């Protein structure tokens, strides 16, 4: 039976200049676009929300980000040693944290007053803790304890980046297997209410942040995606060319019917024959239920098997601009979504079709302009150096 490293190093797409994999940039760009369409308060979210089964863009974004961090830090360690890789990780962590802090500042200083003064219920619900207790909310947000919805992915990213050095150190000494198994154990315990138990019994800062304001994502469950992605990225980068370039035929042939079954269940009236109160935890997004893990794994393997062909399609290729500036594009998409929520007085904004169209066009334009601007800035820095 194949070992863990042999199973996870099955595909090595062609490398772009600089060591990046352009297919991964294109895929990350697609995930960013997918999340933007899902989060915007438009009718497009009906189509984009869990399009391919019980899987959302967030799972792919976290997993792929971890995979790329694993690859980049492996290369950085080979070039500059362990201290150089640790410094690079620290810079990444600080950078993501600063982007998150900038988003919070805009939300607190600009959007919160708009929500209160113009009675925008969606904004008031989103920033309810800040509106009720601004002083403690700012402190809690700085400590990543207060994580409003729509702004809870970057804090999760920061936390996962912060635990990455420890995970890599353990893997360096004892391989990735114990790291992945321990991560799986934490995920399993999280399915039985670990997060709620910790919230009730642990309050390290004494800020009394409402549980509903601590972010929708259960970090104890979602860390599994990060750790597995980190392990795969590290192992795949260090794999020898002869380790194999193709997903085994039996594996993707098994995953295809699994993905089809979940796709059918996603669009079928499951609730007519399956009690969601009893079985809903299997597909729960926020706690990353077991069925979602299976569904995501099947789709991920199919993407690895066929993704390179899809990435060569002319209308897909421009998405690499979004993927290469992922943090900047993600931050701009959050701002556009918040602006969209501020347009209506209803808690569940439903603008006229022409406003939705304008919001979609403006958002998509802003995302690609951000990608272009980021690429121009990177090229300018390279030229200057």
Model pLDDT for residues 176-204, shown as the tens digit of each residue: 999 999 999 999 999 999 999 999 999 88
Q: Where are the beta strands (DSSP E) in 124-261?
A: none
Q: Which domain holds residue 239?
A: 4-384
Task: Decide which of 269 and 90 is more confident.
Answer: 90
Determine the distance from the C-alpha atom of residue 186 to the mean position of all C-alpha atoms in its chain, rounded to a whole number: 19
Q: Is residue 40 scored above 80 in pLDDT?
A: yes
Residue 250 CB-density burial (10 A; 0-12 exposed, 13-18 middle, 19+ buried): exposed
pTM (predicted TM-score): 0.90
Q: Is the pLDDT of residue 124 over 90?
A: yes
| pLDDT (0 to 100) of residue 46 | 86
Given pLDDT bands bounded at 50, 70 and 90, which one contains residue 93?
very high
Please determine, for residue 378, whether its predicted confidence score (pLDDT) is greater than 80: yes
Mean pLDDT in residue range 54-82: 92
Q: Is residue 359 within 8 Å of 336, Cβ to Cβ?
A: yes
Tell which phi-psi region holds residue 144, choosing left (phi > 0), alpha (psi between -120 and 50) or beta.
left
- Of the candidates 346, 362, 363, 349, the one whose C-alpha atom is nearest the C-alpha of residue 43 is 349
Query: Angle CA(202)–CA(204)–CA(205) in degrees, nearest 5?
Result: 135
Q: What is the per-residue pLDDT for 203?
A: 85
Span 332-347, average pLDDT: 88
**What are the angstrom distances between the C-alpha of 326 and each of 33, 111, 151?**
10, 24, 15
Q: Give the pLDDT score at 209.
A: 94
Per residue in 6-33, pLDDT tens? 433 343 333 454 445 788 899 999 999 9
Long-range contacts formed by 306-313: CB under 8 A, 24+ apart: 307/13, 307/23, 307/27, 308/13, 308/14, 308/23, 311/22, 311/23, 311/26, 311/27
- pLDDT classification of 205: cutoffs 50, 70, 90: confident
pLDDT band of 242, cuts 50, 70, 90 = very low
Structural domain tally of the chain? 1
**CA-based R_g, the chain, Å:** 21
| Average pLDDT of the chain to the nearest whole number | 87
Confidence of residue 270 (pLDDT cuts 50, 70, 90): low
Alpha carbons 58 and 333: distance in angstroms, whole number: 13
pLDDT at 90 over 50: yes
State how far the Cα of 43 lies from the Cα of 58, in Å rounded to an integer.
19
pLDDT at residue number 312: 78
pLDDT of residue 97: 98
> What is the per-residue pLDDT for 274?
59
Distance of CA 127 to the CA centre of its chain: 22
Q: How confident is the model at residue 352 (pLDDT cuts 50, 70, 90)?
A: confident
The percent of residues in the chain predicted with pLDDT above 70, rounded, is 88
């Amino acid at each position: 039976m194949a070992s863990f490293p042999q199973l996870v190093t099955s595909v090595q797409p062609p490398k772009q200049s600089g060591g990046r994999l352009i297919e991964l940039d294109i895929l990350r760009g697609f995930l960013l676009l997918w999340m933007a369409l899902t989060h915007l308060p438009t009718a497009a979210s009906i189509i984009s929300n869990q399009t391919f089964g019980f899987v959302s863009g967030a799972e792919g974004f976290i997993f792929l980000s971890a995979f790329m961090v694993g690859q980049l830090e492996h290369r950085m360690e080979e070039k500059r040693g362990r201290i150089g890789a640790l410094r690079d990780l620290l810079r990444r962590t600080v950078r993501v944290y600063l982007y998150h802090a900038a988003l919070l500042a805009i939300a607190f200083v600009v959007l919160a007053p708009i929500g209160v003064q113009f009675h925008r219920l969606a904004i008031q619900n989103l920033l309810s803790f800040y509106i009720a207790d601004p002083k403690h909310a700012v402190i809690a947000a700085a400590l990543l304890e207060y994580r409003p919805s729509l702004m809870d992915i970057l804090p999760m990213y920061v936390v996962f980046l912060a635990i990455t050095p420890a995970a890599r150190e353990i893997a360096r000494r004892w391989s990735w297997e114990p790291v992945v198994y321990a991560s799986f154990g934490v995920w399993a315990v999280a399915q039985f209410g670990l997060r709620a138990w910790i919230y009730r019994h642990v309050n390290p800062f004494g800020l009394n942040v409402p549980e509903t304001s601590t972010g929708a994502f259960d970090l104890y469950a979602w860390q599994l995606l990060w750790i597995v992605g980190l392990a795969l990225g590290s192992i795949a980068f260090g794999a020898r060319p002869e380790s194999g370039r193709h997903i085994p035929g039996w594996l993707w042939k098994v995953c295809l019917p699994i993905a089809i079954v979940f796709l059918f269940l996603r669009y079928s009236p499951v609730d007519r024959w399956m009690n969601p109160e009893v079985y809903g935890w299997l597909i729960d997004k926020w706690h990353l239920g077991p069925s979602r893990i299976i569904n995501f794994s099947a789709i991920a393997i199919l993407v690895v098997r066929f993704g390179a062909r899809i990435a060569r399609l002319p209308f897909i290729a421009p998405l690499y601009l979004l993927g290469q500036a992922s943090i900047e594009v993600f931050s701009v998409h959050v701002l556009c979504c918040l602006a969209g929520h501020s347009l209506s007085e209803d808690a569940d904004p439903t603008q006229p079709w022409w406003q939705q169209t304008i919001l979609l066009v403006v958002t998509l334009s802003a995302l690609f302009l951000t990608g272009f601007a980021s690429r121009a800035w990177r090229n300018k820095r390279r030229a200057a150096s």
